[in-house]
Structure 1
Amino acid sequence: MRDVNSGHGNRGKRVGTRLAGKPYPGERATATGADPLPPWYRFPETSGKASVRLNIGEVKACAEPTILHTLLGSCVTTCLFDPVAGVGGMNHILLPTVHAPRAGNPHLRFGLDAIDRLIHELTRVGAFAPRLLAKVFGGGHVINAIASQFSPGDRIVEGVLARLQHLRIPVVGQDTGGIWTRVVQFHTDSFHVLVRKTASGHSQVLATEEDRVRRSLEPVGSSF
């Protein structure tokens, strides 16, 4: 498990309840609807903060101290943080493209537009865009697990870094590439990020799900 921490300040803690998202590929829901995270996914819960999981295409900005976490294969997550306001947010990016905004365009959920969406949401909870810092994770080559020699992860990472550079947001932490599936846990009030890697069979299940979502979307727009 890797600790990617830039040492920014903490606004304090607020006790909250865990908010469960939808099951990840390969997870089994219980009869009571509980959230059965596998042992390789779990982090020690000692903060008492609310915990929110992001799935593919989701964006979340938090004004209150929150733990955001997600599971990545070839997808990429960007963690953004305002060190003065002490607020942060996360996205989960599937496609290495940026698209012209228009009503009903599903690609806006999955492409690099998620960075701009996250910035917008952060400003709504008190962040100042010129102060934002970024950490970038994911882009693993797990697509090889489904008999393909091409991984979109590299293109997504390149697109994310280019978009952040265009927006003049410094990248102060990065863990990308390789054969890994990553579990990323981001503390929004401190910019503290924990990353757990696995090269187990979970990679194949996740790669299959990511590929299924990509194939369901027709190409729109151009690569960034």
Structure 2
Amino acid sequence: MSFETPVSASPPAERVTVMQGQALASSSPTIEYSTVLGSCVATCLYDPENHIGGMNHFLLSEPPANAPGTRIDEHYGVYLMELLVNEMLGRGARKSALRAHLYGGANVNRNMMRIGSMNAEFAREFLRREGILLMREDLGGTSARRVDFRPASGQVRCRTVEDRFAPPVQPTPRPAVARGDVELF
């Protein structure tokens, strides 16, 4: 229940909720990102040299192979992982300095596919493939989690919460037009 890194006595001035389909980055010491996860996965990235961090929250790892069209869907990890890295690089982070924490990936509904396990494996593989050091993970199981992340300091807190607080495994309607460019590297 405590932050991994010592926490100052003063709380951050602004708490920002990271919703499904979002990737946010900041170097502000007054920002704290927060999200609640069931089968979704959140990646917390941090550059300790430049004090820049970011968090994403993805619903599913990749679109099905038979998915029609080439529309970018921001609920997929394949898009949000790249977006998070790009957001951080755009703020001055160095890819070689990035450190990662992964959270979520629970299989909260025993009658459904093991979506959480697939999400967790995708996130681990993405980090491995990109050469980003995974410092800590709290993935799997059957319980929902709440994650709080202070991007400027890299402090993370992960707590188990009641499953009824976990977001549903359904994407919210989004506009059909992508809102930005993603550079794949």
- TM > 0.5 fold call: yes
One-letter amino acid matched to 1:117: L
Which residue is 2:14 aligned to?
A: 50
Please tell me whether residue 125 in structure 1 is matched to residue 88 in structure 2: no
Report the CA distance shift for 1:87/1:197 in structure 2 as closer, same or farther (over 3 A).
Answer: same
Structural mapping, 1:116-155, within 5 Å: 116-144=82-110, 148-155=111-118
Asked if the contact 1:179/1:199 (under 8 Å) is kept, the reply is: no
TM-score (norm 1): 0.68
Report the CA distance shift for 1:61/1:111 in structure 2 as closer, same or farther (over 3 A).
Answer: same
Q: Secondary structure, in 3 states, of the residue corresponding to 1:178?
A: coil
User: How many pairs does the alignment contain?
Assistant: 169
Correspondence for 1:172 among 120, 135, 150 = 135
Asked if the contact 2:36/2:165 (under 8 Å) is kept, the reply is: no
One-letter amino acid matched to 2:46: F
One-letter amino acid matched to 1:84: E
Which residue is 2:24 aligned to?
A: 60
The CA deviation string for residues 20-76 of structure 1, in whole angstroms up to 9 with x for no partner, is: xxxxxxxxxxxxxxxxxxxxxxxxx94243211011010101021210010100000
Correspondence for 1:190 among 153, 156, 166 = 153
One-letter amino acid matched to 1:67: E
Please tell me whether residue 213 in structure 1 is matched to residue 171 in structure 2: yes
Asked if the contact 2:48/2:98 (under 8 Å) is kept, the reply is: yes
Q: Secondary structure, in 3 states, of the residue corresponding to 2:28?
A: coil
What is the RMSD computed on CA atoms of the aligned residues?
2.8
Please give the alpha-carbon distance, in whole angstroms, between the structure 2 residues aligned to 1:48 and 1:149: 38
* Structure 1 residue 189: Cα displacement: 1.5
Asked if the contact 1:95/1:156 (under 8 Å) is kept, the reply is: yes
One-letter amino acid matched to 1:62: S
* Structure 1 residue 98: Cα displacement: 6.8
Q: Secondary structure, in 3 states, of the residue corresponding to 2:73?
A: helix
Please tell me whether residue 92 in structure 1 is matched to residue 91 in structure 2: no
TM-score (norm 2): 0.81
Please give the alpha-carbon distance, in whole angstroms, between the structure 2 residues aligned to 1:137 and 1:81: 14
Report the CA distance shift for 1:104/1:53 in structure 2 as closer, same or farther (over 3 A).
Answer: farther
5+ long unaligned stretches in structure 2:
175-185
Please give the alpha-carbon distance, in whole angstroms, between the structure 2 residues aligned to 1:175 and 1:89: 17
* Structure 1 residue 109: Cα displacement: 4.1
Please give the alpha-carbon distance, in whole angstroms, between the structure 2 residues aligned to 1:91 and 1:184: 11
Which residue is 1:75 aligned to?
A: 40
List, as ranges, runs of 4+ consecutive aligned residues in structure 1 with deviation greater than 4 Å.
Answer: none
Report the CA distance shift for 1:149/1:155 in structure 2 as closer, same or farther (over 3 A).
Answer: same
Report the CA distance shift for 1:201/1:121 in structure 2 as closer, same or farther (over 3 A).
Answer: closer
Give the number of the structure whose alpha-carbon radius of gyration is greater: 1
Please give the alpha-carbon distance, in whole angstroms, between the structure 1 residues aligned to 2:124 and 2:63: 13
Asked if the contact 1:92/1:110 (under 8 Å) is kept, the reply is: no
Q: Secondary structure, in 3 states, of the residue corresponding to 1:123?
A: helix
